[in-house]
């Protein structure tokens, strides 16, 4: 913020990103509307999500014009979350497995 | 400072969403189909996820007006900045209103509770109210601060460089940019919630 005192961008870029975000949202809504399932659904939802997130952070939040140090300080820590997601997946699958075994035995 | 706060907030919301993923994977009872749960019937036609789609568009639009407000702030255009901030606040309020409608529909008409619901896995209610409630709180606080910021801009505090409330620091249009960071972040979180909670 201190590095970009009074930064100026033409208005056009905001409208372009805005339209792009609208189109991407509409596309991800269509994924549900058309009832795509399976890996295609996963792939489309995640791609649209990351594209939208990237556009918002890069342009609307002016990350594109920030110092590289700030960019890394903000972008790198959340990457650790991917590890966390992995752990969560393992844990979830394991709990599911034990529940299946336990409840099957109880019947 | 706002970036540091947003980074910590990122971790909070990530914890919620990862918890949601883990809970959804581990339940042996089928998860309610969000496409059906959040469907609306309009004029006899059944449209899946309609309200959520409208909420998404409203929030993106508010992000757009916020970005424009920041831009006009740097141009020191007081009135346009004020009106754009006000528009952003109103769109945010509309979003919260629609969320209140959605919650009412789920609680009153469909009997969803944090401990159970008629559609499937009982964890659905707990996770849903927690995640959307926390996000809704963020939006509400954002609306409040957008209102305050709009009044400050209208008064001309940014132009005269008057010290802010309980601080000696002079106010300037950078404050609008920082407000914008928070608001775009709220939109950003919704992008993730929309994708993994509603569309999954």
Check whether residue A34 and residue A84 sit in a common domain: no
Name the domain count of chain A.
Answer: 2
Residue B3 has pLDDT above 50, yes or no: yes
Per residue in B78-111, pLDDT tens? 899 999 999 999 999 999 999 999 999 889 888 8
- Judge contact between B85 and B146, C-beta under 8 A: yes
Which of B198, B33, B36 lies closest to B132, judged by CA? B198
Q: Is the CB of A88 less than 8 angstroms away from the CB of B63?
A: no
Top pLDDT among A41 and A3 is at: A41
Q: What integer is the mean pLDDT of B149-156?
A: 91
How confident is the model at residue A6, as a pLDDT?
57
- Judge contact between B66 and B84, C-beta under 8 A: yes
Whole-structure pTM value: 0.89
Quick one: B171 exposed, middle or buried, by C-beta within 10 A (0-12, 13-18, 19+)? buried
Residue B42 pLDDT class (50, 70, 90 cuts): confident
Residue A105 pLDDT class (50, 70, 90 cuts): low
Residue A4 has pLDDT above 50, yes or no: no
Top pLDDT among B169 and A8 is at: B169
- Judge contact between B17 and B132, C-beta under 8 A: no
Check whether residue A37 and residue A14 sit in a common domain: yes
Q: Smallest CA–CA separation between B57 and chain A, in Å?
A: 7
Residue A2 has pLDDT above 50, yes or no: no
- Judge contact between B183 and B62, C-beta under 8 A: yes
Tokens at B131, concatenated = 């995640």
Residue A3 has pLDDT above 50, yes or no: no
Q: Which domain holds residue B83?
A: 2-199
Check whether residue A85 and residue A34 sit in a common domain: no
Q: Best interface-test mutation with B: which of A61, A62, A75, A85 has the largest number of B CBs within 10 A?
A: A61
How confident is the model at residue B172, as a pLDDT?
86
Q: Which domain holds residue A35?
A: 1-66
Check whether residue A24 and residue A46 sit in a common domain: yes
* Whether A23 contacts chain B with CB within 8 A: no
CA-to-CA separations, B151 to B21, B41, B42, B160, B180, in angstroms, rounded? 41, 40, 39, 14, 15
Q: Using a CB-CB distance cutoff of 8 angstroms, which residues of chain B are in contact with residue A31?
A: 199
ipTM of the complex: 0.84
Name the domain count of chain B.
Answer: 1
Residue B27 pLDDT class (50, 70, 90 cuts): confident
* Cβ neighbour number for residue B173 with a 10 Å cutoff: 21
DSSP state of B170: B
Q: What integer is the mean pLDDT of B166-170?
A: 82
* Whether B200 contacts chain A with CB within 8 A: yes
* Whether A34 contacts chain B with CB within 8 A: no
Per residue in B13-22, pLDDT tens? 999 999 999 9
Phi, psi of B45 (to 5 degrees): -100, 140
Half-sphere exposure of A55 (CA within 13 A, CB side): 24
Check whether residue A50 and residue A74 sit in a common domain: no
Q: Is the CB of B3 less than 8 angstroms away from the CB of A93?
A: no
CATH code, domain carrying B61:
1.20.120.80
- Judge contact between B126 and B72, C-beta under 8 A: no
How confident is the model at residue B67, as a pLDDT?
92
How confident is the model at residue B134, as a pLDDT?
95
The secondary structure of chain A as a DSSP string is: -GGGTT----HHHHHHHHHHHHHHHHHHHHHHHTT--HHHHHHHHHHHHHHHHHHIIIIIT-GGGS-HHHHHHHHHHHHHHHHHHHHHHHHHHHHHHHHHHHHHHH-
Check whether residue A15 and residue A32 sit in a common domain: yes
């Amino acid at each position: 913020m201190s590095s970009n005192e009074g930064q100026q961008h033409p208005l056009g870029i905001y409208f372009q990103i805005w339209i792009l975000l609208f189109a991407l949202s509409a596309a991800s809504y269509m994924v549900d509307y058309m009832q795509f399932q399976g890996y295609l659904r996963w792939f489309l939802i995640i791609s649209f999500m990351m594209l939208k997130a990237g556009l918002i952070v890069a342009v609307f939040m002016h990350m594109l014009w920030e110092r590289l140090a700030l960019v890394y300080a903000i972008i790198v820590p959340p990457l650790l979350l991917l590890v966390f997601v992995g752990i969560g997946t393992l844990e979830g699958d394991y709990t599911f497995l034990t529940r299946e075994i336990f409840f099957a035995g109880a019947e | 400072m706002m970036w540091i706060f947003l980074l910590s907030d990122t971790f909070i919301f990530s914890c919620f969403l990862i918890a949601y993923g883990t809970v959804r994977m581990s339940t042996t009872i089928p998860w309610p189909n969000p496409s059906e749960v959040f469907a609306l019937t309009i004029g006899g036609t059944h449209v899946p996820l309609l309200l959520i789609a409208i909420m998404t568009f409203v929030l993106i639009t508010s992000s757009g007006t916020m970005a424009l407000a920041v831009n006009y702030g740097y141009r020191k255009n007081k009135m346009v900045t004020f009106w754009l901030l006000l528009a952003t606040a109103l769109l945010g309020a509309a979003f919260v209103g629609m969320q209140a409608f959605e919650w009412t529909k789920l609680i009153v008409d469909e009997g969803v509770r944090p401990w159970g619901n008629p559609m499937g896995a009982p964890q659905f209610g707990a996770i849903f109210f927690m995640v959307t409630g926390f996000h809704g709180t963020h939006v509400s606080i954002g609306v409040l601060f957008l209102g305050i910021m709009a009044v400050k801009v209208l008064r001309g505090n940014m132009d005269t460089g008057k010290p802010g409330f309980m601080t000696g620091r002079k106010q300037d249009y950078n404050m609008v940019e920082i407000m914008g960071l928070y608001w775009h972040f709220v939109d950003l979180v919704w992008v993730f919630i929309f994708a993994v909670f509603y569309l999954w």
